[in-house]
Chains A and B, each alone.
Chain A
Amino acid sequence: MQKLARCLGALLAVLAAVLLATPAVAQGSGETVNGTLTYQDAPVAGVTISVASADGTEIGTAQTAADGTWAVPVPGPGDYSVTLDAATLPPTAPGVVRETIETTVNPQQRKVVLFRIGAPETGGEQPSPSESAPSEGESEAPGGTESGSGAESEAGQDLTATGGNNQLLQLFVSGLRFGLILGLAGLGLSLVFGTTGLTNFSHGELIVFGAVAALLLNQAGVPILLAAVLATILSALFGWGQDRGFWRPLRKKPTGLIALMIISIGVSLILRYLTQFIIGGGRETYDEYTYQDPISIGPVSITPRDLIIMGICVVLLAAVALALTRTRMGKATRAVADNPALAAASGINVDRVITVVWTVGTGLAGLSGIFFGMIQGVDYLMGMRILLLVFAATVLGGLGTAWGAMVGALVVGIFIEVSAYVVPSELKTAGVLVVLILILLVRPQGILGRRERVG
């Protein structure tokens, strides 16, 4: 182990040296705008591309070379607009997705601008599925600007940007809100893991299910509050049906836990792209409660909607906690989580407990999805984004414990928002995941987990 650590240190030092070595001194200031034009994996030659500065003065033009590359030197850092002359495209190409791309060139940067050849954009923010990317349907429009990265915004980003006079406290409160909703989302995952041992990779899609069900009802004319209630019930039914119709037969078969885990990945792919099939690739919002004027409570400003959401979360989390400790069903659930065989031997109907856990867990996940949808809007990738945070929360708190999921979610929620104080907001998810890995190093059983749970 020590030897290993030393090797690692040496390797890191070498890598750091390589990475930090300053690039060969650039000639002059050396800013250029350049790129490679390809279509169906073959370079496209002889296409004219022109660059103009922000005030419209033409800087230069270039023709793509035989290997599809082109470059236009620019006088210095600043904003430029790059235009592809679609008339010079070869007749086989259907057109260019976006003819003009705005871009910002930093000092000494060789700015890459990529035009995508395809049917011209018809408007709307729908990301067109890329032909060449092997895996993702989310490939975004080839903008060279910051706005291009808007196609995937961070979980927890708020459309209703609240301004506060005390930024740190403000971040803390939005972290609390995020953590509470995350706790609601994570309970199902944690309880299902506790009772069945399944690490459910399709849990993110259960969250999306609620959001999408509410969205579809809402678009059909049902007021959003009623739609939210109906969608939560639908989610619970979906959870019940999923357990009875799918997971229970698999458990009886019997199927190994790792096979079940990979099956859940398949389920998540099906549900995620079914969602894309139904609502498309863009981001949708409900027709009410997407924006409210914040009210001030002391130094913090918060919208009434968020206050009510937080209230509902607190009530539901407390209810689940009470149910787990006070009711027969709750005690049975904890007994099954502790030792299914022993629970069955003492007369507990394990299958019934698991079905209840699936039903309640999916219902709560669906409700949390509706809350996320009110705050950030609904898109088909939100499940994937939230899933990793839910994993972080449950692992942090201790996999399989209900309390752990709640505590972990609060920690993750508050950390992710407050870290925006120091970390660029686009990296805050990455920050949480780093913390997750670090915590596993020192306390693998999580904050509240018990030592023997870890193999």
Chain B
Amino acid sequence: MDWGNILELSLRELIGVQAIVFALAAIGINVQFGYTGLLNFGQAAFAAVGGYGIAVIVTTYDMSFWLGLVVGVVGAIILALLLGIPTLRLRADYLAIVTIAASEIVRLVGRSASGRDIFGGSDGITGFSRAFYDLNPFTEPFSFGPFEFRERVLWVLVVGWSLVAICTLVVWLLMRSPWGRVLKGIREDEDAVRSLGKNVYAYKMQSLVIGGVIGALAGIVYSLFQGAMQPDVYATNFTFFAYAILILGGAATVFGPVLGAAIMWFSFQFIDLALRGAIQQDYIPSWLMDSNDVGAVRFMLTGVVLVLLLVFRPQGILGDRREIALDAR
């Protein structure tokens, strides 16, 4: 087994596009769940709406790329309002069930054959990323030690990490403002905040919208990178992953989602390559598992990590045990 190669490929994932996408999705969940205590299990829907915004506007309707960006973000805002209005007054688990239902609705409608002319069916939509890559200022690959990034990837990485940095900064600024303190107050004791005269419903709605828009950015980055918008990427596992990442890094911390995403994708890639290598070298007998099973094993490990973290270290890597959202309503 070529450990050097495995390590190199895994280190690429540490700052890779997947890490960016899930860092953004987790930052969004962090605003909603970490700071406000809202259980949004439909982050995949927000990401899908962002991705579809661009794909449908550019490919299906042949309109401008920038309009697509706007539609993606506005779509996420509308989705947040639609989900929030019926459920934000109800108990937390109702929001959880409604959001997870909404994310499946978005995916099922997106992949349906009857909407194929607009949403491209289960194959999804391609051919909308040209305008984005036309903006690419990089003309040659970038080398850094053993790592080499092609100009396309480099452009996505630069844009993506800038977005992550901006969102992190925004979250940091928001959460140290009086507005952020109200959110944390809602998480800790909603009734106490209400009795101080704050409109809890409006604050929750604002938090849902902000988190949703950041989630839409995740979908936009991912579909631009892939050059394709495929509905099945945004199944419920997308959301569960983002939760695992957030809890790994530390909910209600500014850098938790970013750290969690980087570590998660590094270990994902590492486990994947190491397992495949071990199977090729017959270190793992073929009756036990073959390379088709590697994907399943990775997902199982994610589940194990999620359970162990919540049982033994619910505050994650960066979190403060005194400040965790997990026991909020």
The chain A residue sitting closest to B235, CB to CB, is A136
Tell yes or no: A441 within 8 A of B by CB.
yes
Given known contacts A133-B232, A149-B121, A258-B39, A11 and B78 CB-to-CB distance under 8 angstroms? yes
Q: Please state if B300 and A426 are interface contacts (CB–CB under 8 Å).
A: no
Tell yes or no: A434 within 8 A of B by CB.
yes
Tell yes or no: A106 within 8 A of B by CB.
yes
Interface size on B, residues (CB 8 A): 102
- Of A114, A129, A199, the contact of B228 (CB 8 Å cutoff): A114
Cα distance A258–B92 in the bound complex, in angstroms? 9
Chain B residues whose C-beta falls within 8 Å of the C-beta of A315 in the assembled complex: none
Tell yes or no: A169 within 8 A of B by CB.
no
Chain A residues whose C-beta falls within 8 Å of the C-beta of B302 in the assembled complex: 266, 269
The stretch that binds A, out of B168-176, B178-186, B277-285, B288-296, is B288-296
Mark interface residues in A1-45 (1 if CB within 8 Å of B CB, else 0): 000100110011011001101011000000000111010011100
Within 8 A of B (CB), among A385-422: 388, 391-392, 395, 399
Tell yes or no: A427 within 8 A of B by CB.
yes
Q: How many A-B residue pairs have CB under 8 A?
A: 252
Cα distance A15–B326 in the bound complex, in angstroms? 36
The chain A residue sitting closest to B240, CB to CB, is A265
Tell yes or no: A172 within 8 A of B by CB.
no
Q: Please state if A199 and B306 are interface contacts (CB–CB under 8 Å).
A: no
- Of A140, A250, A277, the contact of B122 (CB 8 Å cutoff): A140
Cα distance A253–B241 in the bound complex, in angstroms? 26
Tell yes or no: B62 within 8 A of A by CB.
yes
Cα distance A135–B234 in the bound complex, in angstroms? 8
Tell yes or no: B328 within 8 A of A by CB.
yes
- Residues of chain A having any CB pair with chain B under 8 Å: 4, 7-8, 11-12, 14-15, 18-19, 21, 23-24, 34-36, 38, 41-43, 67-69, 106, 109-110, 112-114, 126, 128-129, 132-140, 142, 144, 146, 148-149, 152, 199, 250, 253, 255-259, 261-263, 265-274, 276-277, 280-281, 384, 388, 391-392, 395, 399, 424, 426-427, 429-430, 433-434, 436-437, 440-441, 444, 454-455
- Residues of chain B having any CB pair with chain A under 8 Å: 17-18, 21-22, 37, 39, 44, 56-57, 59-62, 67, 71, 74-75, 77-78, 81-83, 85-87, 90-94, 96-98, 100-102, 104-105, 108-109, 111-114, 116-118, 120-127, 130, 133, 150, 152-153, 205, 222, 225-228, 230, 232-238, 240-241, 243-244, 247, 289, 292-297, 299-300, 302-307, 310-311, 314, 325-329
